[in-house]
Amino acid sequence: MTAWRESRRRWRADMARFKAERRTARRNGQPLPENPGPPPTGFALLPWLLLGMGAFSNLFQDRSSHPWIGAIGLFTFNSLYINVAFRAFVKEKREALSTRLALAAMGVLTCALAIGYGGNWLLFFPLLGLAVGATLRGPWLGRTGIGLAALAGGVSGVREGWDAINIAYGTFLSTMVTAAILSLAEAVRELRAAREELARRAVEKERLRFSRDLHDLLGHTLSVIVVKSEAARRLAPRDLEAALVQVADIESVGRQALTEIREAVTGYREGSLATELDRARSALSAVGVDPVVRQSGPPLVPRSEALLGWVLREAVTNVLRHSGATRCEISVSGTRDRVRLEVADDGDGVLSPSPVPGIGGTGLKGLTERLAAAGGSLRAGPSPRGGFTVTAELPVEGELPVEGDPVEGELLVEGGLSAAGGPAAGERPAQDRLPADPAEVPLSRTPGAR
């Protein structure tokens, strides 16, 4: 009864989901989804009980000795068959010990009725084969099917002679065909579920990509616009030409931001390290921070350039938000195997309120995920010499994860945090140390870290 309720619940849930998908498709003007139909349940196996109608009629025509024994046996077999039929479509119940015991009881009962009555009662062997085929999976199915067919042939031979071949063949066929059909139905359901899961993950992946790109684009661009706007306001009373230069820069930054947002929407946004270095020099100089850029090593592949460009953009954005920094060193160095980007400033470690409310708080986390997916790592924290340092490392090809690097979503924060974000040995008390994940705290409220 429990298995029957479970089958009915699953059928109702699938049909409700299908109807909801059709309503959504109609509302959005999309093609209607394919109707998968109701999932198979134990009801699909119940019509085969009609094979036992011959034995049932014999009970009422006085063709069987001791008909009350046959009636009890028929009722018991049918009850066990119905129970197994509904359990066969629920994996947990199909593999349960109680189901195996029910099959064994059906086998013993079938042999007893076939030996005792013969004739139409031999058709219970194909019914037993149906139950076995619906329940068993894996390598034991073939052996069990052959053994059951041999048992049916042997018992039938005692009662019907050479006609036992038909019973043995029917038993083997019912076992294997039932197993093949139900296995195919299960494979189709699993493939459909896998396809839906892949589609859901693709949508989620695209949403995360766009969210990261939009944050990285707007966080930097709006910070630069605010800084240059403040510079233009301060310069306007005493140096109108310099103020107009800042206004022109604001216009240029805004136009570039529009282009980048369009590229991010279409998925063709690729950063350039050289472009970001030029923008970093301009943005830092506008706020009175002296930029020092050092580059060495072989040329980078486009993917590494794009990833390091994102890191540089976020790091410079954080420097723009920092109060007290007068110098920012940007170092790009590489070998044949790995490339390293380091952005360090000489600030005092105390952040001013963010010039752009609502921007910040997920940049480092998003960059960590980007780099980890390419086999790289990201470290951020206060420098021993003072100020703040962001360091990114990547394999030159940027394709295969490197053993020992942090896993996806893991940020290495120096100064009191372990690689997993937990306490390191000898750190300060909890109330004095950095949060477990600085990337999740607004930059304007994180003391000593960005």
Above 70 in pLDDT, residue 402?
A: no
How much is the average pLDDT of 380-403? Answer: 73
Task: State phi, psi for 61 to the nearest 5 degrees.
Answer: -105, 15
Q: For the CA atoms of the chain, what is the radius of gyration?
A: 36
Q: Which of 404, 398, 365, 405 is nearest to 273 (CA)?
A: 398
Residue 104 CA to residue 59 CA, distance in Å, equals 25
DSSP 279: H
pLDDT at 316: 85
Contact 371, 397 (CB under 8 A): no
Provide, rounded to the nearest whole percent, the portion of the chain with pLDDT above 90. Answer: 5
Above 90 in pLDDT, residue 353?
A: no
**DSSP states of 155-194:** HHHHHHGGGHHHHHHHHHHHHHHHHHHHHHHHHHHHHHHH
Q: Does domain 272-419+429-450 have CATH number 3.30.565.10?
A: yes
Residue 5 CA to residue 7 CA, distance in Å, equals 5
Contact 113, 122 (CB under 8 A): no
Domain-wise residue ranges, the chain: 2-198, 272-419+429-450
Query: 62-75, pLDDT tens digit by residue?
Result: 566 777 787 888 88
Above 50 in pLDDT, residue 335?
A: yes
**In sequence order, what are the beta bridge partners of 394?**
339
Residue 127 CA to residue 123 CA, distance in Å, equals 7
